[in-house]
Amino acid sequence: MVQGDTKSRVVSPWIQLSGHPDSFFPLDGNEKVAKWIKNGDFTEFNSYTLIYDTRDSIISFIPKFHGLLSPVSEHMKSVVRKEPCFVLSNLLSEFKNPVVMDVKMGSQTFVEAEEGNDVPREDLYNKIVKFARDKLTNEEVSERKVTKLRYLRLRDSLSTSSAFGFRIDALNKGSFQKETLANLSSLEEASRVISQFVEGASDLQKQSLVSELETFQCVFNQSSFCANHFLVASSLLIAYDMGSPSERVVLGFIDLFHAVPSTDSNCNSGILQGARNLTSLFRATTAQ
């Protein structure tokens, strides 16, 4: 367990592009992040533990793992919630002006059998109205509700996920709305977003981004953890420090909360397909 250092340090501002806002909270002047373990589901905690215990190759692309946060630490004294949480390093802690993109990886980004997927919900109907009103059936329009499974399937099929193995979920550069990104369905559209994303990057940073994506593919292929787990809804966090003379960039493999043991050697082919497509798009952008 870690107690957490209570001294504040001047580091990067806290940035969370996607996910539920109450899933995390920053620690140690934003150098670390604590993530809640909800509903007693230790899947993600166990994934990080296994990777670090076995020193699996994918360790070079995931945040540094600091274990469970002690419930008696200074950080927890003012927290009402009773769930446990684990601690990861903030991948952006050394950046002063981080430009960040969150990319959901794989051709399927949800677990079909997840509890609650078959319950009709008005909020999900309203989300579909924003990006795919014409895909709603007459019955759905009449009831003004759709199930989570229907929403997730539609989101994957209309985006680049199903065909190309990745979906740009969020970025903090430009004026892209989440609904706009969800509707990107071609490599050409994704390429235009990536071009705007790297606008502020130096030539060295652009080259480093391509190099990191190429290395990620090799490491992912070598990883025993990735070979033996079906990784659903995992993401690549891609970032550079705008205005910095350093060529350092960040490519982090995050969100391991749906790591399901699998004997299917091709279970993560969608992630590799997405990584290859992303690499090609970033390489083409760098060459411009």
Which of the pair, 54 or 71, is modelled with greater confidence? 54
The secondary structure of the chain as a DSSP string is -B---------PPP---SS-TTSEEEEGGGTEEEEE-GGG--HHHHHHHHHHHHT-GGGGGSPPEEEEBPTTSGGGTT----S-EEEEE-TTTT-SSEEEEEEEESS--S-TT-TTTTS-BHHHHHHHHHHHGGG--HHHHHHT-B-HHHHHHHHHHHSSHHHHSEEEEEESSSS--HHHHHT--SHHHHHHHHHHHGGG--HHHHHHHHHHHHHHHHHHHH-HHHHTEEE-S-EEEEEEETT-S---EEEEEE--TTEEE---TTTTHHHHHHHHHHHHHHHHHHH-
Read off the pLDDT band of 175 (50, 70, 90): confident
Over the stretch 248-259, which tens digit does the pLDDT of each residue have? Answer: 999 999 999 999
Calculate mean pLDDT across residues 210-236. Answer: 96
Tell me what pLDDT residue 209 has.
Answer: 97
> Has this prediction a pTM greater than 0.75?
yes
Residue 11, pLDDT > 80, answer no
Task: Please state, for a pLDDT cut of 90, what percent of the chain lies above it.
Answer: 67
Tell me what pLDDT residue 8 has.
Answer: 37
